[in-house]
Amino acid sequence: MQRTHSCGELTEKHAGKEVVLSGWVSNRRDHGGLTFVDLRDRYGITQVIFNPKTSRSVQEKAKELRDEFVVAVSGNVVKRPKGTENKELSTGAIEVQAKELEIVSRCEPLPLEVSGKTLANEDVRLKYRFLDLRRPEMQQNIVLRHRLGKVVREYFYSRGFLEIETPFLSKSTPEGARDYLVPSRVHPGKFFALPQSPQLFKQLLMVSGFDKYFQIVKCFRDEDLRADRQPEFTQIDVEMSFVSEENIFEIVEGLFKDIFKEIKGINLKTPFPRISYEESMERFGVDNPDMRFGLELVEVTEAIKGSGFKAFSQEIEYNGIVKALNAEKCGGFSKKELDELIELAQVHRAKGLVWFKVASGGLEGPVAKFFNEKILKELASKTKAKENDLLLLVAGKEEVVNAALGSIRRELGKKLGLIDDKKISFVWIVDFPLLEFDEEEDRWQAKHHPFTSPQEKDLPLLEKEPGKVKARAYDVVLNGVELGGGSIRIHRGEVQEKMFAALGISKQEAEAKFGFLLDAFKYGAPPHGGIAFGFDRIAAMLAGTESIREVIAFPKNKAAVSLMDSAPSPVSERQLKELKLKLDLEKKGKK
């Protein structure tokens, strides 16, 4: 039997037709002498009725059906009797009266429910991903991901961009994470690196004259376990020549406009607001601010100077700062709630968290006695404190204070229900610092990557005050999540040399690592810039799920393992021999 229609297709219009449907049994019920089967495929569900009056033997066979059997059924489409229609199904006005039934394949007892409401734990779902993907929610997510890819491609095609593939077997790229290595059999002892991004290749494509490039591309980063990272993930990668930041912003805003229109039916407002990195850190404590709610941070270092509170005055003495957050209307917080906030501050390396409740007579709290009336008044006025508010203060190094209060702000936004789920709040973060100091390695690192252009006006500072140099770099943030980032690149050899010098990269090292790019720049390099977005993250946000694993067909689990095919797995002695590799696992007792 060859199917004539899908399980999501039949409506009243088909009544009286003879059809053949194929699909999975998603439910079987025996009722008043009849057998009902919900037949499912990726297009929907159709109710099939087996009636002994039509054929007793076919109905008997239908009683053998169990969930997830694959069957083919032929029969007539009939309108359902009045009052028995199912408005939730696109096929809910009809049913198919079965004449013939073929059991195409049977199904063993299921390790997870495909049609039920109970969600198996994630390990089981990942082990039996092929079944998990049958669940209607997952089917929707995968379809959404496909549609997202389609919108993105059509958008870039329509704007004259070329889709160009770049190698997976390549040389390490300077994205800052650890590389996945692939040993070369032909050149024993040598390795390819899987690209962390196509960064260098897309810049080379600009040198070759392909002035508008994009690619939806896999990237690989061997990072330590973090809740929502995947060792291989997908980027929308873009690069353009002869552009300024403005051109890139315009292209990106147009892209998100199309995505939201096509997938969500929402008209996005553009241009997106822009704030500098500095302003973002000042007001929100983070560079990926959720701007759907207030609770902004206020610096109170000056106001608090000269208090008798040692913990604060010492921090200020050692170049620390003090910032406050006014948790409005939270004056009634319990000791437990306050303790939780203190703990959160400590997770971010703050030594402590000081709180004041705002009472009718002024600020009250365990350390209020160390502050004179004038300071308390100043503090209340700076934070716009009103009766029944709660002031939270952290002192210390700027990064620590920002990280602690930034995460408390996020936590309170959620806890107090201040976040409107319907809001879509895009923001560009601009004017990032070019470099950041790596305390552990005791040297400057590129905040974005070493090919990011410094701002022209800051060039003279690069040697003496590298920390003050701003980059021509930008990030796009949506509702507190960084969706992507990029920069205008360096295309002049002498600037690149200065940048390497600031990073402590010697000429030889630069030559060995990126010689081919530096070489290319000697032969007529156009000014260029670009951006890359997390495709999985965008799909997850559109699907309304927190985890990117929900929108990836075959993801790894949190420990970077594929539970379904158990990759990574050992390889044979012969394979190792061919690669001239010897394992040295015993030493660590890890056999």
Looking only at residues 530 through 559 of this chain, which bind ligand ASP when binding is defined by CB under 6 A?
530-532
Q: Rounded to whole angstroms, how far apart are CA atoms 320 and 482?
A: 28
Binding part of the chain for ligand ASP, among 162-170, 299-307, 414-422, 480-488 by CB under 6 A, reads 480-488
Residues whose CB falls within 8 Å of the CB of residue 45, separated by 6 or more in sequence, listed in order: 7, 8, 26, 38, 39, 89, 91
- Is residue 222 involved in binding ligand ASP (CB under 6 A)? no
What is the separation of C-alpha 349 from the centre of its chain, rounded to a whole number of angstroms? 25
- Is residue 243 involved in binding ligand ASP (CB under 6 A)? no
- Quickly count: other Cβ atoms within 10 Å of residue 106's Cβ: 12
Looking only at residues 484 through 503 of this chain, which bind ligand ASP when binding is defined by CB under 6 A?
485-487
With contacts defined by CB under 6 A, how many residues of the chain interact with ligand ASP?
9
Looking only at residues 175 through 194 of this chain, which bind ligand ASP when binding is defined by CB under 6 A?
175
Residue type, position 321, single letter: I
Residue type, position 245, single letter: E
Q: Is 142 helix (H, G, I), strand (E, B) or coil?
A: helix
Comparing every residue's Cβ against ligand ASP, the nearest one is 197
Q: Rounded to whole angstroms, how far apart are CA atoms 583 and 573?
A: 10
Q: Rounded to whole angstroms, how far apart are CA atoms 147 and 124?
A: 28
- Min separation Cβ 543 and ligand ASP, Å: 23
Site string for ligand ASP, 147-176 (x = CB under 6 A): ----------------------------x-
- Is residue 326 involved in binding ligand ASP (CB under 6 A)? no
The total number of residues written for the chain in this structure: 591
> Which CB, 199 or 241, lies closer to ligand ASP?
199
Binding part of the chain for ligand ASP, among 11-19, 138-146, 279-287, 525-533 by CB under 6 A, reads 525-533
- Min separation Cβ 176 and ligand ASP, Å: 9
- Min separation Cβ 247 and ligand ASP, Å: 14
- Is residue 434 involved in binding ligand ASP (CB under 6 A)? no
- Is residue 288 involved in binding ligand ASP (CB under 6 A)? no
401 with 320: CB under 8 angstroms?
yes
- Min separation Cβ 173 and ligand ASP, Å: 8
- Count of alpha carbons within 13 angstroms of residue 161, beta-carbon side: 28
- Min separation Cβ 457 and ligand ASP, Å: 21
Residue type, position 455, single letter: Q
- Min separation Cβ 142 and ligand ASP, Å: 24
- Quickly count: other Cβ atoms within 10 Å of residue 551's Cβ: 25
Specify burial of residue 211 (Cβ count, 10 A radius: 0-12, 13-18, 19+): middle
> Which CB, 23 or 529, lies closer to ligand ASP?
529
Q: Is 453 helix (H, G, I), strand (E, B) or coil?
A: coil
- Min separation Cβ 537 and ligand ASP, Å: 12
Closest-CA residue to 386 (of 343, 357, 429, 419): 357
Binding part of the chain for ligand ASP, among 281-289, 304-312, 439-447, 528-536 by CB under 6 A, reads 528-536
What tokens were used for 137? Answer: 């929610």
- Min separation Cβ 551 and ligand ASP, Å: 19
Site of interaction with ligand ASP (CB under 6 A): 175, 197, 199, 485-487, 530-532
